[in-house]
């Protein structure tokens, strides 16, 4: 694979685990990559800087990713240079598992793969065939040619958003009731993260303002501000807004918050069967920034509706001064909160309606960005 990558014009730096050195010598890989091979966080010369390597790379490929390595990556156990570098990497990460067929289907391995994917890393699926154990089945590492082709496809991505600054709100908000409780919603941030990654991969500089979410953006062109409440999201978005060329409001912002959040945990009172929390409106971030919108800015909103979707979405488009709105329905199977897929309809200012199939959130993100580019060219 090293040979193929070099042939494709890549600059390659290699880190090996101790187990890997039992299969191939570091000298062989050093000769092929024309660079030193790293094995441990410390070396005779001192400290090997995994942070620097992690920042240097445009992509990190972990191949073969054994069951042990997957477990360590998924849990952040940095007892090797590979995992230390992985934790410092800001670039897209690809992993190509390789193991025996029973290991591959074990729930522990499946869970680790799922977790890595939830961090935004890309799984390079295993192949089927003869395995090191002599058994035959799933678990073979993808062919090097296949891995290199995937990387070439990744880098060949159009850079049609280069020079654009994109402001993106994503995830839910938490509105404090007291120091322990909050009002929240079921948004995970997956759709927003998919837009952030896709936009960064297409050359944009992304300022992501993310409500409470377990997800972590990967691309180095994504700057992240984490917030909790609608108010904090509003303040952060308002500050960045004047520099933004494109703004995408993907967050599921609470419409109301407790009017007086308690400073201490609210206690049950003897005999109390009901309690009332008075709510007040939160700032409507999209509407407020829509008022400040200049001619050359493009604003995109989302609408999640359970009934009369198109009509409500079109109303929001106007009220919030958006260029187009992405309608998703909770009633479509596989669409909405927590899913990796989504089914959307775009509605624009001319009332043009474009309906899409159910597809991955990453593919939906590409469709949204295609529409942004189309509007910029108009
Ligand atoms: O009015 P509704 O909440 O349905 O509008 C959804 C759109 O408005 C989404 O793009 C959402 O991110 C944005 N929004 C906002 N601030 C709010 C409420 C919604 O930016 N307080």
Question: How confident is the model at residue 323, as a pLDDT?
Answer: 97
Contact of 172 with 186, CB cutoff 8 Å? yes
Length of the chain: 378
211 pLDDT band (50/70/90 cuts)? very high
Contact of 60 with 94, CB cutoff 8 Å? yes
DSSP string, 324-373: EEEEEETTSTT-STT-SEE-EEEEETT--EEE--SEEHHHHHHHHHHHHH
Confirm or reject: Cβ of 241 under 6 Å from ligand 1: no
Contact of 329 with 336, CB cutoff 8 Å? yes
Closest-CA residue to 197 (of 175, 173, 179, 219): 219
Mean pLDDT of 339-361: 90
DSSP string, 100-169: -HHHHHSHHHHHHHHHHHHTTPEE-PPEEEE-TTS-EEEEEPPPHHHHHHHHHHHHTS--TTTT-EEEEE
Confirm or reject: Cβ of 285 under 6 Å from ligand 1: yes
Predicted TM-score of the model (pTM)? 0.69
Q: Tell the residue nearest (CA) to atom 6 of ligand 1.
A: 303
Confirm or reject: Cβ of 282 under 6 Å from ligand 1: yes
> Assign residue 137 a region: left if phi > 0, alpha if psi is -120 to 50, beta otherwise?
left
In the chain, % of residues over pLDDT 70: 98
H or E element at residue 32: helix 26-33
Closest-CA residue to 199 (of 235, 163, 151, 227): 163
Question: How confident is the model at residue 43, as a pLDDT?
Answer: 66
263 pLDDT band (50/70/90 cuts)? very high
Closest-CA residue to 36 (of 22, 52, 58, 23): 52
How many A from CA of 205 to the centre of ligand 1?
Answer: 23
How many A from CA of 194 to the centre of ligand 1?
Answer: 18
Confirm or reject: Cβ of 325 under 6 Å from ligand 1: no
Q: What is the mean pLDDT of the chain?
A: 92
Q: Tell the residue nearest (CA) to atom 17 of ligand 1.
A: 284
Ligand 1 mutation pick, 251, 304, 317, max ligand atoms within 8 A of CB: 251
Lowest mean pLDDT among 182-186, 224-228, 360-364: 360-364
Confirm or reject: Cβ of 195 under 6 Å from ligand 1: no
Q: Is the pLDDT of residue 130 over 90?
A: no
Q: Is the pLDDT of residue 108 over 90?
A: yes
Mean pLDDT of 62-83: 95
**283: which DSSP letter?**
P
Q: Tell the residue nearest (CA) to atom 13 of ligand 1.
A: 286
d(CA 30, CA 32): 5
Question: How confident is the model at residue 8, as a pLDDT?
Answer: 86
Q: Is the pLDDT of residue 195 over 80?
A: yes
Q: Tell the residue nearest (CA) to atom 4 of ligand 1.
A: 303
Q: Is the pLDDT of residue 171 over 80?
A: yes
Q: Which atom of ligand 1 sits closest to the CA of residue 250?
A: 12
- SS3 letters across 253-270: CCCEEECCCCCCCCCCCC
Q: Tell the residue nearest (CA) to atom 5 of ligand 1.
A: 303
Q: Is the pLDDT of residue 335 over 80?
A: no
How many A from CA of 201 to the centre of ligand 1?
Answer: 26
- Compute and round to an integer the Cα radius of gyration of the chain: 24
Ligand 1 mutation pick, 167, 240, 252, 320, max ligand atoms within 8 A of CB: 320
Domains of the chain are: 2-156 (3.40.50.1950), 165-377 (3.40.50.10300)
- Active-site positions? 185
d(CA 31, CA 213): 43
What are the two backbone dihedrals, phi and then psi, of residue 162, each rounded to the nearest 5 degrees?
A: -60, 140
Q: Which atom of ligand 1 sits closest to the CA of residue 255?
A: 21
Confirm or reject: Cβ of 230 under 6 Å from ligand 1: yes
Q: Tell the residue nearest (CA) to atom 9 of ligand 1.
A: 302
Ligand 1 mutation pick, 187, 229, 285, 325, max ligand atoms within 8 A of CB: 285
């Amino acid at each position: 694979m090293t040979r193929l990558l070099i042939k494709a014009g890549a600059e390659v730096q290699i880190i090996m685990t101790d187990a890997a050195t039992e299969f191939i010598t570091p000298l062989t890989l050093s000769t092929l990559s024309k660079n030193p091979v790293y094995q441990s966080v410390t070396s005779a010369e001192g400290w090997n800087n995994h942070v620097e390597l992690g920042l240097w790379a445009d992509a990190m490929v972990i191949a073969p990713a054994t069951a042990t390595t997957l477990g360590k990556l998924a849990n952040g156990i940095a007892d090797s240079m590979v995992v230390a570098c992985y934790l410092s990497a800001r670039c897209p990460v690809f992993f190509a598992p390789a193991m025996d067929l029973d290991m591959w289907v074990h729930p522990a391995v499946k869970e680790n793969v799922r977790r890595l994917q939830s961090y935004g890393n890309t799984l390079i699926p295993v192949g089927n065939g003869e395995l090191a154990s002599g058994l035959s089945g799933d678990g073979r590492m993808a062919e090097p040619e296949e891995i290199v082709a995937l990387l070439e496809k990744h880098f060949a991505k159009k850079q049609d958003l280069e020079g654009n600054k994109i402001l993106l709100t994503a995830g839910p908000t938490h509105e404090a009731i007291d120091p322990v409780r909050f009002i929240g919603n079921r948004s995970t941030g997956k759709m927003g993260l998919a837009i952030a990654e896709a936009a960064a991969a297409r050359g944009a500089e992304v300022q992501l303002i993310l409500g409470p979410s377990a997800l972590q953006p990967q691309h180095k062109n994504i700057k992240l501000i984490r917030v909790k409440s609608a108010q904090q999201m509003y303040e952060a978005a308002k500050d960045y807004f004047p520099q933004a060329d494109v703004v995408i409001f993907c967050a599921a912002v609470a419409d109301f918050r407790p009017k007086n959040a308690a400073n201490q945990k609210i206690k049950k009172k003897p005999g109390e069967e009901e309690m009332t929390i008075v709510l007040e409106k939160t700032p409507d971030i999209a509407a407020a920034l829509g008022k400040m919108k200049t001619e050359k800015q493009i604003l995109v909103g989302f609408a999640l509706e359970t009934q009369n979707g198109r009509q409500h979405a079109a109303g929001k488009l106007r009220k919030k001064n958006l260029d187009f709105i992405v309608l998703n329905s909770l009633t479509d199977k596989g669409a909405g909160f927590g899913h990796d897929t989504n089914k959307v309809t775009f509605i624009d200012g001319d009332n043009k309606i474009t309906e899409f199939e159910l597809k991955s959130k990453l593919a939906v993100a590409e469709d949204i960005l295609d529409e942004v580019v189309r509007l910029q060219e108009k």
